[in-house]
């Protein structure tokens, strides 16, 4: 049976002004994250945990802070892999300058985030506790088509914001929580940028579908996010999340 894919109604976009301001908006977010450096701290609550992944078994994300870091690492691998395909596609090659620059910036940011989490987990866990490089299947995305690329980018960025918001409360190490807060602010800028260039609505950058009644971005727990990501069919490499904090 064919795997389900992310499906979002496509909306034709109008060209927007102030592209330089939007580019600076994204650049500031990326520089803020890069400037934080790879600040690595110990996760004492996981130091004595047994190896959750015996040889030959499906990888489990683990427990405690290491489990949450692996969870974020999986999402950042997904986003970095997607934007790698975007920049290899003919839509990006022929896109207008504004969209081309924004997508290139998003690629750069997601690669920084992916490499940060890889380094952080390696510094705080045994090698066997680090999520391996995942394999992805983006055959359901037409990288030559603007609608296909931007609808998928919109969903992935909205999902990333909700994921960080929902997982922050589960982190026990204050320094990790600070860094997660920096990253989610960048992810929120990504989501706003994609929405502003794609959706034909001046308020789409903070639409009612991603902002709650209190004016805050949505927050979703890891199990909900992983269920939504799994439903896309993008992730080929199996892994479990049986020991993540709730």
Give the tens place of pLDDT for each residue, 124-135.
889 999 999 999
**Can you tell me the distance from the alpha carbon of 169 to that of 231, in angstroms, rounded to the nearest whole number?**
25
Share of the chain above pLDDT 90, in %: 54
**Can you tell me the distance from the alpha carbon of 220 to that of 115, in angstroms, rounded to the nearest whole number?**
24
Is residue 191 very low, low, confident or very high in pLDDT (cuts 50, 70, 90)?
confident
Q: Choose the weakest-confidence range: 5-9, 66-70, 96-100.
A: 5-9
Task: Report the pLDDT value the prediction gives residue 13, as an integer from 0 to 100.
Answer: 32
User: Is pLDDT above 50 for 232?
Assistant: yes
Task: Report the pLDDT value the prediction gives residue 39, as an integer from 0 to 100.
Answer: 38
Share of the chain above pLDDT 70, in %: 70
For the chain, what are the domain ranges? 59-238
Q: What is the mean pLDDT of residues 87-108?
A: 95
Residue identified by tokens 């290139």 is: 104
Instruction: Say which CATH class 59-238 falls into.
Output: mainly alpha
**Can you tell me the distance from the alpha carbon of 141 to that of 8, in angstroms, rounded to the nearest whole number?**
12
User: Is pLDDT above 50 for 160?
Assistant: yes
User: Is pLDDT above 70 for 50?
Assistant: no
Task: Report the pLDDT value the prediction gives residue 77, as an integer from 0 to 100.
Answer: 98
Task: Report the pLDDT value the prediction gives residue 151, as an integer from 0 to 100.
Answer: 94
For residue range 87-97, list pLDDT tens digits in order. 999 999 999 99
User: Is pLDDT above 60 for 199?
Assistant: yes
pTM of the prediction? 0.76
Q: Choose the weakest-confidence range: 56-60, 99-103, 129-133, 161-165.
A: 56-60
Task: Report the pLDDT value the prediction gives residue 35, as an integer from 0 to 100.
Answer: 36
Average pLDDT over all residues of the chain = 78
CB 200 within 8 A of CB 11: yes
- Which long-range contacts link 119-127 to residues 24+ away (Cβ below 8 Å)? 119/38, 119/40, 120/38, 120/40, 120/69, 120/176, 121/66, 121/69, 121/70, 121/73, 123/40, 124/40, 124/41, 124/42, 124/43, 124/46, 124/65, 124/66, 124/69, 125/43, 125/46, 125/62, 125/66, 126/51
Q: What is the mean pLDDT of residues 165-189?
A: 87
Q: What is the mean pLDDT of residues 157-180?
A: 90
């Amino acid at each position: 049976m064919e795997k389900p894919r992310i499906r979002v109604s496509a909306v034709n976009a109008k060209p927007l002004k102030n592209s330089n301001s939007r580019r600076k908006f994204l650049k500031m977010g990326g520089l803020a994250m890069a400037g934080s450096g790879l600040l690595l701290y110990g996760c004492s609550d996981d130091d004595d945990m047994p190896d959750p992944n015996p040889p030959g078994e499906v990888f489990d994300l683990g427990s405690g802070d290491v489990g949450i870091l692996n969870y974020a690492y999986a999402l950042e691998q997904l986003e970095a892999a997607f934007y790698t395909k975007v920049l290899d596609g003919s839509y990006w090659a022929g896109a207008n300058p504004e969209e081309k620059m924004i997508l290139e910036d998003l690629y750069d940011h997601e690669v920084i985030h992916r490499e940060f989490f890889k380094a952080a987990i390696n510094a705080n866990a045994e090698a066997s506790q680090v999520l391996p490089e995942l394999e992805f299947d983006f055959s359901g995305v037409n990288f030559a088509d603007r609608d296909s690329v931007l609808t998928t980018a919109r969903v992935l960025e909205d999902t990333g914001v909700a994921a960080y918001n929902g997982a922050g409360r589960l982190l026990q190490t204050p320094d990790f929580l600070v860094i997660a807060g920096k990253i989610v602010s960048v992810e929120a800028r990504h989501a706003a940028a994609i929405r502003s260039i794609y959706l034909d609505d001046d308020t789409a950058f903070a639409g009612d579908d991603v902002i709650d009644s209190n004016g805050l971005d949505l927050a979703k727990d890891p199990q909900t996010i992983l269920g939504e990501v799994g439903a896309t069919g993008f992730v080929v490499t199996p892994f479990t999340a049986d020991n993540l904090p709730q």
